[in-house]
């Protein structure tokens, strides 16, 4: 296994990465669940891997979540919390999150608040959760006002990334996760982006060496940023490249799976790049290069690519104003100077953004 350390002093933890990592980490997992603990699992994932869970954890209580973004709700948070309490999970015990980003976010929020905080173990099973959401301690549920607006920072004690779980991942979900991989290259490592341009086919074919490379590279980048800025007071905001535009699209589309999070992030990154060009901050060639790569693997880069999506510019801007980075009623965006160099752009003029959104609505599919 590869190991990446998230350096947070006495709260530091390891990310273990590799084929067979889940069973290889059985000893560490059992140690973390010696006191009364429980598993929160995506119901689809559980149906595939319940035997593997039993081999590692024995008869530990399992609480299931429905698949899909709609599970990140107050109702599911309340239900799961009650079931964790009924299962006798103690403060010294652990909540083990088995599933994708939805499961990790919801189970993590439960762990952050159960008995005012118990341990959290992340076992992500999607590419998106393996390269992004399982690392860094962000937990949340969605609200009518927008995505991830109620939550807590709660770092895990261990993250176990077993690439074998990706073998059962539907192609669309794998591709959505790949968008978050591209994000790392676009925001901070042009050489990694260039590697992805050459090797996207092997990544999406789930070749072990390529998968391990992109997961480890992404996790190392995120671990470095989190160690420097755990609560997103500065540099960590760069990890939101594409998310302000993308979350607006998700909120308007609803959370029923019509637009996956990674698809929204891909579209949002392309929009952020075009906005950077429109503001004279980045070269057209860099925006074109990013859009070309995203489109080449089948990810959306323009609003018109989303079937039946026809939100007004005013509606999208309204969703964007619910973004967590809004300060004093002004909009903050993550923009690009070039591929591999993103930056935080505060105090964005809403009228300028609105005009840009009108133009985006008029773009034909790429």
Structure tokens at 273: 């790049």
Known binding residue 68? Answer is: yes
Known binding residue 71? Answer is: yes
| 8 Å CB contact between 8 and 154 | no
Known binding residue 69? Answer is: yes
Known binding residue 7? Answer is: no
Q: Give pairs for 234-240: CB < 8 Å, separation 24+.
A: 234/344, 236/136, 237/325, 237/332, 237/334, 237/344, 238/187, 238/188, 238/334, 238/342, 238/343, 238/344, 239/132, 239/136, 239/183, 239/187, 240/325, 240/334
Closest CA to 44 of 22, 65, 60: 65
Q: How far is Cα 342 from Cα 228, in angstroms, rounded to an integer? A: 17
Query: Which sequence positions are flagged as catalytic?
Result: 116, 138, 180, 222, 232, 236, 240, 243, 247, 261
| Beta pairing, strands 138-143 & 146-153 | antiparallel
Known binding residue 244? Answer is: no
Known binding residue 126? Answer is: yes
Known binding residue 93? Answer is: no
Known binding residue 101? Answer is: yes
| Beta pairing, strands 158-162 & 119-124 | parallel
Closest CA to 286 of 339, 210, 241: 339
Quick one: 235 exposed, middle or buried, by C-beta within 10 A (0-12, 13-18, 19+)? middle
Known binding residue 243? Answer is: yes
Q: How far is Cα 42 from Cα 71, in angstroms, rounded to an integer? A: 10
Known binding residue 125? Answer is: yes
Q: Report how far apart, in Å, the C-alpha atoms of 23 and of each of 17, 31, 104, 254 are.
A: 12, 14, 19, 37
Known binding residue 261? Answer is: yes
Known binding residue 324? Answer is: no
3-state helix, strand, coil in the chain (%, to 5): 55, 20, 25
Known binding residue 70? Answer is: yes
- Residue positions forming the annotated binding site: 67-72, 101-105, 125-126, 138, 147, 180, 243, 261
- Residue positions forming the annotated binding site for NAD(+): 67-72, 101-105, 125-126, 138, 147
- Residue positions forming the annotated binding site for Zn(2+): 180, 243, 261
């Amino acid at each position: 296994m590869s190991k990446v350390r998230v350096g947070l002093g006495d709260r530091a933890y390891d990310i273990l990465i590799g084929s067979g990592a889940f069973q290889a980490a059985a000893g560490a997992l059992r140690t973390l669940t010696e006191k009364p603990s429980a598993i929160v699992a995506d119901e689809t994932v559980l149906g595939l891997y319940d035997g593997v869970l039993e081999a590692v954890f024995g008869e530990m209580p399992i609480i299931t979540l429905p698949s899909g973004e709609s599970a990140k709700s107050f109702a599911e948070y309340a239900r799961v919390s009650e079931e964790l309490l009924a299962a006798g999970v103690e403060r010294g015990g652990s909540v083990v999150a088995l599933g994708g980003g939805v499961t990790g976010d919801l189970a993590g929020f439960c762990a952050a608040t159960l008995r005012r905080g118990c341990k959290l173990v992340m076992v992500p099973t999607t590419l998106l959760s393996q390269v992004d959401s399982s690392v860094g301690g962000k937990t949340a549920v969605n609200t009518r006002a927008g995505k991830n607006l109620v939550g807590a920072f709660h770092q895990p004690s261990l993250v176990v990334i077993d690439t074998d779980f990706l073998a059962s991942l539907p192609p669309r979900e794998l591709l959505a996760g790949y968008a978050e991989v591209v994000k790392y290259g676009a925001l901070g490592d042009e050489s990694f982006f260039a590697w992805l341009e050459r090797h996207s086919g092997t990544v999406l074919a789930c070749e072990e060496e390529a998968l391990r490379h992109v997961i480890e590279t992404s996790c190392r980048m995120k671990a470095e940023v989190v160690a420097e800025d755990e609560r997103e007071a500065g540099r960590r905001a760069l990890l939101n490249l594409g998310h302000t535009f993308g979350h607006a699209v998700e909120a308007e589309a609803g959370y029923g799976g019509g637009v996956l999070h990674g698809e929204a992030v891909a579209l949002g990154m392309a929009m952020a790049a075009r906005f950077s060009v429109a503001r004279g901050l980045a070269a057209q060639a860099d925006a074109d290069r990013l859009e070309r790569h995203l489109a080449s693997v089948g990810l959306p880069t323009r609003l018109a690519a989303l079937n039946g999506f026809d939100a007004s510019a005013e509606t999208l801007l309204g969703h964007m104003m619910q973004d967590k980075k809004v300060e004093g009623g002004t909009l903050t965006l993550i923009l690009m100077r070039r591929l591999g160099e993103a930056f935080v752009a505060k105090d964005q003029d809403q009228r300028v953004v609105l005009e840009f959104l009108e133009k985006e609505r008029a773009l034909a599919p790429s």
